[in-house]
Structure 1
Amino acid sequence: MADYNRYGHSYGGGYSSHTPPPSAPPAPVPTTSAPPPSSYGYGGYPSAYPPPPPQAAGGFGYGFVPVAFPPGTHPDVERAFRAADRDCSGAIDEHELQGALSTAYHRFSIRTVRLLTFLFNDPASSSPSRMGPAQFVSLWNCLGQWRGIFDRYDRDRSGKIDSRELTEALRSLGYAVPPSVIELLIANYNNGVPRNGALDFDNFVECGMIVKGLTEKFKEKDTRYTGSATLTYDGFLSMVIPFIVP
């Protein structure tokens, strides 16, 4: 029987909103002024955003609909969600999510945002293109962990991950991706040319999520963890297409 670690361990708390968010602290929300002493290094509220609406006791009821954040959600993450939820509907669409993530982390393409929405949204949601507070918190914390991995392996501090750094980063997560696949991944974000290509944080997240997601889907078929599985044509397309056509 093959070693389970060949597939990699679960990282980032999974994709489902039913999974508790990781214990790692959330990434900071940028601020243009010095944070108050009570911020504990997370930064203050961005001056570009209006003050958040008042919140009722217990974390419910701001704006037009009741909104509940998971217990222990950092106030800065709540503020980021409220700032993105301009219409106070209790959910944010892909463009609002793009704005929130781009402000806090890095400029995210709408393609990456759509993939993240697909991966983190509740499959039973009546609005699959909109994200609620629980899913937003799970995604936010997960991206904080991916940011830590990116910074750790961007050893030359170029702001990009090259093929060697990408291989090491994925291996640190338990994914032994062969060089031929690494070249395909790099080429996908470099106009089809793998040589001297590199990924910024946006592309690194998308690439990592695809590797993780497809690995998890493959493991469902490879129940003995042998590294091989039998798939029907329909099953193969159903597994792959959601990750490449977000």
Structure 2
Amino acid sequence: MSSWNNNNRYHSESSYAPSAPSLPDQHQQPQPHYSNNNNNNAPSNYHHAPPPPSSNYGSGYYGQVSSSSYSFPQGTNPDVIRTFQMFDRDQSGFVDDKELQQALSSAFHNFNIATIRFLIFLFKDPRQPLRIGPKEFSALWNCLGQWRGIFERYDKDRSGKIDPLELRDALYGIGYAVPGSVLQLLLSKYGDGSGRRVELGFDSFVECGMIIKGLTEKFKEKDTRRTGSAKLSYDEFMSMVIPFLVSYD
């Protein structure tokens, strides 16, 4: 018998999907933008996506984006399509871990390769190797935009890092009252062994948040009565937690 803190607030989703939870007051931050204009109100530790290169790669006439050879969801932002096309170096219709790392680092943050592979694992078609196509890329891009809004809201000191107290507040603010002991255990994953206080960059914050969200949603599938307790077999327990704990280095 496993249990989860009864005070923890469950979201309305019936099963886990790789996405970012909405803030309670529906506070939304804008997606990373493509602009050369300096934003004097933005903290210097945050950087946004540069404008796409002015080349004909992956574009139609007069700079319009052509997605005819890619199956993007209807209404996908043209900048997202252009970014995918630009980093799909071999025009295979997929981006691998290195290509995705370059794409996301150019727009959101300098992502480490372990986090990139973790995100691919969560978003990719199970039948595909470690790579994602246009549909998954678009979903991941939108998801990261939501997480970026959460990150910026709870980075109270505008340091560009999330410290343990900010992480606790961020997780609680999106509905996860994680016990302190569990939070410390999770933070230890991101320490360097020096004993210094752990501070998370955006990539580690996303990984941490998606581990908490993923495990909680998986647990909810078994806690059908929403009591904070669930009965799991050994196989079910291992299948639930291992994907979120293995190393993707």
Q: TM-score, normalised by structure 1?
A: 0.79
CA deviation after TM superposition for structure 1 residue 214, in Å: 0.6
Change over 3 Å in CA distance of 1:233–1:195 after alignment to 2: farther
- Partners of 2:8 and 2:183 lie apart in 1 by 19
CA deviation after TM superposition for structure 1 residue 195, in Å: 6.0
- Paired letter, 2:95: I
- Larger RCO, structures 1/2 (Cα 8 Å, 6+ apart): 2
Q: Is 1:94 matched with 2:97?
A: yes
Q: How many residues align?
A: 222
Q: Is 1:114 matched with 2:120?
A: no
Residue aligning to 1:210 = 211
Deviates more, 1:51-60 or 1:209-218: 51-60
Q: How does 1:1-246 map to 2 (within 5 A)?
A: 6-9=9-12, 14-15=17-18, 26-29=31-34, 33-34=36-37, 45-47=51-53, 50-55=55-60, 60-61=67-68, 66-123=69-126, 126-191=127-192, 196-245=197-246, 246=248
- Partners of 1:43 and 1:162 lie apart in 2 by 24
Q: TM-score, normalised by structure 2?
A: 0.78
Q: Is 2:95–2:131's contact at 8 Å kept on the other side of the alignment? A: yes
Post-superposition CA distance 1:57-106 (Å, at most 9, x none):
99543xxxx31211111111111111110111111111111110111111
- Partners of 2:194 and 2:227 lie apart in 1 by 32
CA deviation after TM superposition for structure 1 residue 175, in Å: 0.7
Change over 3 Å in CA distance of 1:194–1:226 after alignment to 2: farther
Change over 3 Å in CA distance of 1:44–1:193 after alignment to 2: closer
Change over 3 Å in CA distance of 1:203–1:91 after alignment to 2: same
Q: Is 1:162–1:198's contact at 8 Å kept on the other side of the alignment? A: yes
Q: Is 1:187–1:194's contact at 8 Å kept on the other side of the alignment? A: no
- Paired letter, 1:105: F
Q: Is 2:94–2:131's contact at 8 Å kept on the other side of the alignment? A: yes
CA deviation after TM superposition for structure 1 residue 162, in Å: 1.0
Post-superposition CA distance 1:139-172 (Å, at most 9, x none):
1011011011111111111111111110110111
Q: Is 1:7–1:174's contact at 8 Å kept on the other side of the alignment? A: yes
CA deviation after TM superposition for structure 1 residue 196, in Å: 2.2
Moved over 6 A (4+): 2-5
Post-superposition CA distance 1:180-199 (Å, at most 9, x none):
11111222111357762211
- Paired letter, 1:240: V
> Secondary structure of the equivalent of 1:7?
coil
> Secondary structure of the equivalent of 1:199?
coil
Deviates more, 1:207-216 or 1:110-119: 110-119
Change over 3 Å in CA distance of 1:215–1:194 after alignment to 2: farther
Change over 3 Å in CA distance of 1:153–1:192 after alignment to 2: same
> Secondary structure of the equivalent of 1:80?
helix
- Partners of 2:197 and 2:59 lie apart in 1 by 50
The gaps in structure 1 that reach 5 residues or longer are 17-22, 36-41
